[in-house]
Structure 1
Amino acid sequence: MPQDQDPPSRVVCFGETMAQLVPDDGLPLNTAATFTVRTAGAESNVAQALAQLGIPVSWVSRLGEDALGQRITRDLAATGVDVSAVRFLPGQRTGLFLKDPGPHGSTVTYYRAGSAASTMSPADVDTALAFQPAVLHLSGVTPALSDSCAAAIRYALTACRAQGIHTSFDVNYRPALWPSPAVAANQLLDLANAADTVFVGLDEAEALWDLASATEVRRLIGQPSTLVVKDGARAAVSFGRADEPVVVPALPIVVREPVGAGDAFASGWLYGRLHDLPCTARLRLGHLMAGAALTSLGDHFTIPDTPERLLAVACASSWAGG
């Protein structure tokens, strides 16, 4: 395991975060009597996990100048995420969604159309790039929100390439946000092929592009220097430019709620990259972080151990997965 490294460089996460209303005690939405308000967003989930791991991280977005917007920034700041660049819009509202959790997936009802975050534009990307991050993390949720958000993501990928900033893109296909699967398939493929590191679930690849294996996904998404294909409870596969693919089995986990595990996996993998670890260790860190998320009812979770111990497990000679 690397020793005595300099503090890792900053990561910036760019995208919408909403308030999330979750029934207490894991009860169904239609019978629960009490609820908890939480903070949830693909990119801020990654930011919160990285902050817990000791990575300097900023989250850039727009929020309504309302109570939910204030709560989101307070919650993110409390976990160590820098929110200094968040823009508050008077007279506009922060997005909200209701979550009906279950062990095999959640039913989600969004109240986010016309949210403050849906007005994001390339100008917000310039704000993010002003941090001069080592990594800009994006997801496929953002381009589905509006035309200006889609333009922002395209601009981000182009600007980062010009400035030598590494881009991390999680496909994060959310069918309810797209006008049709065909539109999503075309746009997400173009964006993925413009990024440096791409994360995609094999189930997403099947739904979007009718692909049945990680190798088929790599043939389609051939441009990124790194492609990580997550195959649920089975394994994750990392493809580089020329090296043979690296496969690491997932850990056996009793799933309490699956949403947020993909974001957690991305945070673990990025943590390994920032520490210049080999692909095997990066994938292990992804599994360790995803495992913690799978046992939490919320999208956000507490990391399963200290960063130092997680690094030690990731770099050990043996692995408990499979």
Structure 2
Amino acid sequence: MNTPVIPERGPVVCIGETMAALAPDPVAPLDDAELLRVDIAGAESNVAVYLADHGVPARWVSALGDDPFGRRVRERIAAFGVDVSGVRTDPARPTGLLIKNPGADGTRVHYYRRGSAASALTPEVLRAEAVRGAGLVHLTGITPALSPSCRALVEEALSPGRPHPVSFDVNHRPALWPAGPAAEPAAEVLLSLAGRADIVFVGLDEAQELWGGAVTDAASVRRLLPGPGTLVVKDGSRASTAFVGPQPYTVPALRVRVVEPVGAGDAFAAGFLAGLRESGDPVRALRLGHLTAASALGVAADHGPLPPPARIAELLAADGRTWSAATIGEPAPARG
């Protein structure tokens, strides 16, 4: 098992693709939509943005096309206070694109990112000036699915003797992984990568989908992933558990009015990392993760405003009963 780490004082460097995102406005199935709203979407940049909201120096490293979408993505992320000096402009490849298709059973996402600028990232990124001096490098399981060179980037970032601690959000996106008899199963790849990271985030339902019957609860995920010094298992709207070494710490989720769940996992990761960096206390970090996730749950976009600082401070310091009774936004329906 890796020794549990506290993120150091250098910037958190988040490496991965951010795309332009199109979604019907007002919300409706694409078949019926007249207008599409232009936004941006990217798991790693979401984490960087929420870290910046918490006052943590954050740097996003990636590549964008030399096109209007790329310029929009760069300007939007920089406007949140994220350092984008490590983002390269690729003159030959386009910025990736996703299109949301809301429906009665949830929102489907259509990706147009094959051959994108970010899919050409290589391990050389790790030797760039923007990564030197990092207090923590943050990666997700999306990046290794984009291309062989992106897979090599993540493999090298998690190699023994790496210069920076690494956090890894499993973030399984089935639509991105190659299919067919010759394809390496995403479950095997992601288990191997997560097992080498210092801090890992995974949803319980996600772990069950990936690794099947071996996963029944947070403790079974820990048995499957004994390597990371810190493992955070998110159980939807119920609770999250952080294993720091063998010791589990569980914090119930807040009651939240949910507009759309997209981006909430990224927000949780950012809140947890910010809380761990600030206090070293896993319970406080889990609470800040839930508070930050509530910001994303309450909006249709990937990023929403944090609760007022006084409310955050009040809930971080609250006793267990007060925390469990707290709500953010309109109360959600009672959990069964």
Q: Quick one: distance in 2 between partners of 1:41 and 1:73?
A: 12
The residue number in structure 2 matching 1:289 is 292
Q: Quick one: distance in 2 between partners of 1:128 and 1:296?
A: 35
2:96/2:113 contact within 8 Å kept = yes
2:230/2:243 contact within 8 Å kept = yes
Q: Does 1:29 align with 2:30?
A: yes
Q: Quick one: distance in 2 between partners of 1:275 and 1:209?
A: 33
The residue number in structure 2 matching 1:183 is 185
Q: Normalising to structure 1: TM-score of the pair?
A: 0.92
Query: Which amino acid in structure 2 is aligned with residue 175 of structure 1?
Result: P
Residues 270-305 of structure 1, C-alpha deviations (whole Å, 9 max, x = no match): 010110241111111111111111111111222222
The residue number in structure 1 matching 2:154 is 153
Q: Quick one: distance in 2 between partners of 1:194 and 1:118?
A: 23
Shift of 1:315: 2.9
Q: Quick one: distance in 1 between partners of 2:65 and 2:203?
A: 32
- Greater CA deviation, 18-27 or 179-188? 179-188
Q: Does 1:134 align with 2:138?
A: no
Q: Quick one: distance in 2 between partners of 1:276 and 1:158?
A: 28
Q: Does 1:162 align with 2:162?
A: yes
The residue number in structure 2 matching 1:70 is 71
The residue number in structure 1 matching 2:44 is 43
Q: Does 1:249 align with 2:276?
A: no
2:143/2:150 contact within 8 Å kept = yes
**SS of the residue aligned with 1:99?**
strand
1:121/1:152 contact within 8 Å kept = yes
Structure 2: runs of 5+ lacking an equivalent: 1-7, 326-334
Shift of 1:130: 3.6
The residue number in structure 1 matching 2:5 is none
Shift of 1:100: 2.1
**SS of the residue aligned with 1:300?**
coil
Structure 1: runs of 5+ lacking an equivalent: 1-6
Q: Structure 2 residue aligned with 1:313, among 307, 312, 315? A: 315
2:177/2:186 contact within 8 Å kept = yes
Shift of 1:182: 6.3
Q: Within 5 Å, which residues of 2 pair with 1:1-322?
A: 8-101=9-102, 105-127=106-128, 130-158=131-159, 161-163=161-163, 165-180=164-179, 183-210=185-212, 211-243=215-247, 245-306=248-309, 309-317=311-319, 318-320=322-324
**SS of the residue aligned with 2:37?**
strand
2:10/2:133 contact within 8 Å kept = no
Which 4+ stretches in 1 moved above 6 angstroms?
Answer: none
Shift of 1:103: 8.0
Residues 47-75 of structure 1, C-alpha deviations (whole Å, 9 max, x = no match): 11111111111100011111111110000
Shift of 1:312: 4.0
Query: Which amino acid in structure 2 is aligned with residue 189 of structure 1?
Result: L
Q: CA 1:93–1:201 in 2, change beyond 3 Å: closer, same or farther?
A: same
Q: Percent of pairs identical after alignment?
A: 49
Q: Quick one: distance in 2 between partners of 1:305 and 1:143?
A: 36
Shift of 1:31: 1.6
Q: Quick one: distance in 1 between partners of 2:305 and 2:58?
A: 17
Residues 227-271 of structure 1, C-alpha deviations (whole Å, 9 max, x = no match): 00001011101111132x111111112221111110010011001
**SS of the residue aligned with 1:198?**
strand
Q: Normalising to structure 2: TM-score of the pair?
A: 0.88
Q: Quick one: distance in 1 between partners of 2:141 and 2:19?
A: 16
Q: Quick one: distance in 2 between partners of 1:277 and 1:100?
A: 40
Query: Which amino acid in structure 2 is aligned with residue 56 of structure 1?
Result: P
